[in-house]
Amino acid sequence: MPQPTLAQDRVVDLVYTEVARGYGHDFAPVSNILFPIVPVNTSAGKIITFGPEDFIIVNTSRAPGQNTKRIQFGHAGAEFALNHHRLEAMAPLERISETAVQPGFDLVARSIRSVQRIMDREREYIGSVLARTANNYPVGNKSAPTGSDKWDDPASDPFSQVAAARSAVRKKCGIKPNYMILGDQVYSALARHPGVLDRLSNADIKVATKAQLELLFEMTIVVGEDVYYEESTSEFVDMWGNDAIIAVVMPKSMQEMGSPNFGYTYQLETLPTVEEGYFDKNPNSWIYPVADAYKPVLTGMSSGFLIQGAVTLA
């Protein structure tokens, strides 16, 4: 007798899957910007990357009877393989009405959302590691300020550094970066920098707002505030550290595999799913497994610039 397949073993709960897919992914705020989710229909394939050839001038004129020119945006780069993720939501029997045989919808939905918050925080962390790894950037698309060039030094000039970073990206990919991602300590130092405050009209301002910084730097600024607990040191660590990332981010209406962007999260289009719940006597709980498969990827074309160690970590 043939053994049942994995797909046959895992019965999907369609109602709770809708809860999972309707969840807003609020707990991966920076990764959602740098690596917006795009669906793919396979667990492996080629990353669609972009280069200067996507910005050439094409002569589209043609004489009667001549063939029409054809173009293709992007090209197949390195291979990707989606990572499969799985975590179970628990609905303890103690929280269920004595008259109920199974947990109610609200209890299970809350448990599923709690699981997804944890899974999204993991996705945020994966994105931060990918975006903050200097070796992922080509030569000329990264810098590491030292001494008085660090932004927490009053003598530093963050405006010149950011302008140089934007210029470097534009010269390599043809698009001027429109987003700046700042670690929390970097944002704090920048908001109090004398060079920033000197450019504001009100001399009484001691801390610039994010809106003011966006006007001065002419970019959307996103602050990476998430932290994680490092068990080995028993300390909380900033996910986005003390770095600044200058990036090209397309409007949401243009975010797809065929459009240039700093990066994307390739997400298997059939996921996430919530499997049919089962009762586990040991924790005296109903269990609802949540499955997902995704892979954050950089799409090339030198569309980002890493300023590593923009400030000295406190």
Whether residue 273 is contained in a domain is answered as: yes
Pair 308, 245: CB distance under 8 Å? no
- Helix (H) / strand (E) element for 26: namely none
| pLDDT single digits (tens) 197-247 | 999 987 778 899 999 999 999 999 999 999 988 888 889 999 999 999 999
Whether residue 68 is contained in a domain is answered as: no
- Distance between CA atoms of 139 and 144, rounded to whole angstroms? 12
Whether residue 236 is contained in a domain is answered as: yes
Whether residue 135 is contained in a domain is answered as: yes
Domain of 243, in residue numbers: 11-50+76-307
Q: Burial-class residue 197 by CB neighbours within 10 Å (0-12, 13-18, 19+).
A: middle
Q: Burial-class residue 286 by CB neighbours within 10 Å (0-12, 13-18, 19+).
A: buried
- Distance between CA atoms of 196 and 188, rounded to whole angstroms? 12
Residues sharing a CB contact under 8 Å with residue 31, sequence separation 6 or more, in sequence order:
123, 124, 126, 127, 128, 265, 296
CATH of the domain at 19: 3.90.1690.10
Give yes or no for a cis peptide into 296 (omega within 30° of 0). Answer: no
Pair 124, 237: CB distance under 8 Å? no
Residue-level pLDDT, tens digit, the chain, 314 residues = 344 334 434 566 666 666 565 655 567 899 999 999 888 888 877 766 665 555 555 666 666 767 666 555 555 566 678 899 999 888 888 776 654 556 666 788 888 888 888 888 999 999 999 999 999 999 999 999 999 999 999 999 999 999 999 999 999 888 899 999 999 999 999 999 999 999 998 777 889 999 999 999 999 999 999 998 888 888 999 999 999 999 999 877 666 655 678 999 988 988 888 888 888 989 888 888 898 999 998 886 688 999 999 999 87
Whether residue 192 is contained in a domain is answered as: yes
- Distance between CA atoms of 272 and 86, rounded to whole angstroms? 9
Number of domains in the chain: 1
Whether residue 66 is contained in a domain is answered as: no
Residue 182: which of 211, 142, 222 has the closest Cα? Answer: 222
3-state secondary structure 27-87: CCCCHHHHCCEEEECCCEEEEEEECHHHHCCCCCCCCCCCCCCCCCCCEEEEEEECEEEEE
Length of the chain in terms of residues written: 314
Helix (H, G, I), strand (E, B) or coil at 111: helix
Q: Burial-class residue 28 by CB neighbours within 10 Å (0-12, 13-18, 19+).
A: buried
Whether residue 100 is contained in a domain is answered as: yes
Whether residue 30 is contained in a domain is answered as: yes
